[in-house]
Structure 1
Amino acid sequence: MKYSLLAALIAQGIISFSSAKDLPSQSCKDENGNEVDWFIIYKLPRSTLKSVNPTGGKFAYVDSENSKKTLEYWPISQQDLFKNSNPIAYTLRSLYERTTSEDILYFAYNDEPPKTNEGKWKGKGHSKGVVLFDKTAGFWLLHSVPKFMKGLKSGQYVFPENAKNNGQMFVCFTFRTEQVEKIAELLRTQNAKVYARQLPGWIGGSFEKVTLLASNKFEEKSKTLKTTLATKRGHILRAYAKSASAGEDLFADELFMDLKERIVVQSWMNGNGGKYLSADDVNHVVAMELKSKENKIFPFETTVDHSKWAFTNKSDIFCFASTNRKPSQEKRGGEALCFNNRVVKDLFCSGVKYVSSEAIVTQHADRKRPRCESSRRKA
């Protein structure tokens, strides 16, 4: 049975995850269930786009394959995050099966987890993600969705209803298994809220950091951690983690100071938590306007976008982040993962309609077009 047919049968509910043929290895999966080195999913908000996004499940999709050439428009997927035929469902299939293989290592973490007996998030990092590996390879899926993943080991993929209205983001990277020790140390540094885990026998004594994380033993001495990760196909990522005791703003004190250039930041600025003073080194997204190849325009403001990300002004670096840019978040752990990709950076830059130097945007905010430059060489 070809995979495209298999995917269609799963989508229609004719067969379940548990009866589908096993995939060759654990990795990030694209819209057809094929392995990719990385992907980015930008879920569009439903609140202000009901006419074109009635279910709230519409998303833009970029990965290591479709970004090999310049993208003049945002690739808007025809799939729906609330259906069980999409990259997230394919990637996490092993965890939705009623019986997860005992050879799988996984950690699911979320500062707002699904209903569990793990206790409250107090003191835990403000971050969300899934780490899953077999003996040879696996993936790290980072995201911004509260209460995800629901339906763990239920036999059915579930996307939470609470994520319907606002914009959200998922980023996934495929790694060889030797990278999992670094990932575990990043989670330990930020004191991630791990609510589900499995430690297979092959871990043995070779993965000390993984074993400590599985035992809820977090890093107490290190306030911050900066390291590099190599994807399965050799892309180098910059990874950051900060603990609550660091007392830092992840964007200004970590990303800006390390990347050494102005950054444009999108984060959830609604509600309490205070605000930062204006700063020339960090600009805040006010409004987005994604344009598709079909000449459709998807406009929305940051007030309905729960995603957290940043890009540099001059170089081609894009970062996914887990915290919001508020003073209150200095007291929470968090993480960021950055990589150099001109196509991705240009895509996000072109999608930003307005930025402001004010952290809390009001009707009097100094709105302006982003000053985005590209490091690409002119022919």
Structure 2
Amino acid sequence: MDVLWMIVLTTGLLGSHCEGAISCKNEIGGDVDWFILYKNKCGVDYVYTDSKDQNLKKNNKPVNNQAGVLAHTLNPYFEKSSDSAFIAYSDQPPNGKTASSTYGHSKGVVMMDKDNVVWLLHSTPRFPAGDKSTNFYPDSGKTNAQIFMCVTLKSTESAQIAQHLKGINAYIFDKHNPEKLRDSSTAPQPPYHEDLKSAGGQQFTRFVKQISGTRDPEEGDLYVTIADTLRSNLYIQTWHSKPEDPNKRPKKYQLVTIMSVKTAAGSWEHGSDHSKWCVSDSKDWMCVGDSNREPSQFERPGGALCINSKPVADEFRQIKSITGSNTDSNTDCDTGPSSSKRKRVGSLS
């Protein structure tokens, strides 16, 4: 598996006869530089923003639509052409197993051709569930809110993604053309952050946190690392995190738990949201992470990708609330005719 860490993409390594470079896609299959998709707590509706329209609004097609945002973006994953390569990673892969806690609580797909790299980070267990546009979204993913962030990068940025996956010790469960993926990098020692530029010039920063064997939040909390680096207070949404444990940092930046969310696709409480994201209280940063604010995760590797965009930060500040019922109500969600109603599992997910 370690041979997959370094993604080497040089001119001529992959075929040059493919029609168009790999890219994040919108719901009609058009290329976008980046997008963020935030699914509601029950079902398949979601709000969406991208490089062409930075308003966070409800999308017309469901998240599992075979001609929708995710399906279009994942087309190289479905096709497995000789001109492309990919890796899919998740500590909760679709085979029903769970990776050990030595791996990051991280989920994503990296797809590449000779020109571009697409990095799709997300929070959905068992995703992609299959390798076709008709079966890629798991029924279990319809329960609880989930988030996806996609960014299109030039192939020259592939080494940074490789370093990131190595730093978070991502568990790779699927791959294509692995001979085109080689480990020849040395990742910096965590914690660290590095800037990225999308293919369209949008500024991003990626974070890799350190591990704390003593579960010290000052070392092992991803959001402490982000707040200290950005020098900003943060509003944070993660699974099962508690506003009082750990939340207060008297001499540094405040980390405030989001207790409810109100979007054009619906409203939900903290206990129904499996996504992991944060937004600065005043600066132009919004981040999608892979770690929860739970002491058990301070001793696991992890990281985040942050976008520097005032419209995006403003939209995510607008949908959050720091007040709510603070209850983990197990709202049943009907996941479709082939599934019975499922209750949200109480353990870390």
Change over 3 Å in CA distance of 1:286–1:198 after alignment to 2: same
Q: Tell whether 2:208 aligns with 1:236.
A: no
**Equivalent in the alignment of 1:250:** 222
Of residues 114, 125, 150, the one that matches 2:94 is: 114
Counterparts in 2 of 1:278-317, with a 5 A limit? 278-279=248-249, 281-290=254-263, 292=264, 298-317=266-285
**Equivalent in the alignment of 2:167:** 189
Change over 3 Å in CA distance of 1:224–1:350 after alignment to 2: same
- Following superposition, the deviation at residue 157 of structure 1 comes to 4.0
- Following superposition, the deviation at residue 353 of structure 1 comes to 2.7
Instruction: Note the alpha carbon deviations across 1:207-264, whole angstroms, 9 max, x for none.
Output: xxx5128xxx996x82323111110011121111135458510001x10110111110
Structure 1: where are the runs of 5+ without partners?
Answer: 1-21, 47-55, 204-209, 364-379
Could you tell me how far apart the structure 2 residues matched to 1:243 and 1:196 are?
26
**Equivalent in the alignment of 1:85:** 67
Contact 1:126 1:333 in 2 (8 A): yes
**Highest Rg: 1 or 2?**
1
Could you tell me how far apart the structure 2 residues matched to 1:78 and 1:346 are?
23
Amino acid at match of 1:80: P
**Equivalent in the alignment of 2:23:** 27
Could you tell me how far apart the structure 2 residues matched to 1:133 and 1:199 are?
10
Instruction: Note the alpha carbon deviations across 1:341-360, whole angstroms, 9 max, x for none.
Output: 1111111111113358xxx9
Change over 3 Å in CA distance of 1:162–1:109 after alignment to 2: same
**Equivalent in the alignment of 1:224:** 191
Change over 3 Å in CA distance of 1:218–1:122 after alignment to 2: farther
Contact 1:268 1:308 in 2 (8 A): yes
Amino acid at match of 2:39: K
Amino acid at match of 2:183: L
Q: Tell whether 2:106 aligns with 1:127.
A: yes
Could you tell me how far apart the structure 1 residues matched to 2:141 and 2:170 are?
21
Could you tell me how far apart the structure 1 residues matched to 2:274 and 2:307 are?
21
Give aligned-pair identity as a percent: 29
Q: Does 1 or 2 have the higher relative contact order (CA < 8 Å, sep 6+)?
A: 2
Instruction: Note the alpha carbon deviations across 1:110-158, whole angstroms, 9 max, x for none.
Output: 01011179x8334101110001110011210000000101112x56442
Counterparts in 2 of 1:1-379, with a 5 A limit? 24-46=20-42, 56-67=43-54, 71=55, 74-97=56-79, 100-115=80-95, 120-152=99-131, 154=132, 156-199=134-177, 203=180, 210-212=181-183, 222-244=189-211, 247-252=219-224, 254-269=225-240, 275-279=245-249, 281-290=254-263, 292=264, 298-355=266-323, 361=326
SS across alignment from 1:212: coil
SS across alignment from 2:76: helix
SS across alignment from 1:211: coil
SS across alignment from 1:75: strand
**Equivalent in the alignment of 1:51:** none
Contact 2:99 2:171 in 1 (8 A): no
Could you tell me how far apart the structure 2 residues matched to 1:179 and 1:58 are?
32
Contact 1:111 1:193 in 2 (8 A): yes
Instruction: Note the alpha carbon deviations across 1:164-198, whole angstroms, 9 max, x for none.
Output: 12000000000111101110001001111111123
Instruction: Note the alpha carbon deviations across 1:330-371, whole angstroms, 9 max, x for none.
Output: 111111111211111111111113358xxx9469xxxxxxxx
- Following superposition, the deviation at residue 284 of structure 1 comes to 0.5
Could you tell me how far apart the structure 2 residues matched to 1:84 and 1:182 are?
31
Contact 2:241 2:293 in 1 (8 A): no
Change over 3 Å in CA distance of 1:90–1:263 after alignment to 2: same
Contact 1:125 1:244 in 2 (8 A): no
Contact 1:112 1:121 in 2 (8 A): no
**Equivalent in the alignment of 1:374:** none
Could you tell me how far apart the structure 2 residues matched to 1:267 and 1:128 are?
14
Could you tell me how far apart the structure 2 residues matched to 1:194 and 1:300 are?
32
SS across alignment from 1:346: helix
TM-score for the superposition, normalised by structure 2 = 0.80
**Equivalent in the alignment of 1:371:** none
Could you tell me how far apart the structure 2 residues matched to 1:186 and 1:156 are?
30
SS across alignment from 1:24: coil
Give aligned pairs, total: 302
Amino acid at match of 1:250: L
Amino acid at match of 1:87: V
- Following superposition, the deviation at residue 299 of structure 1 comes to 1.8
Could you tell me how far apart the structure 2 residues matched to 1:78 and 1:248 are?
39
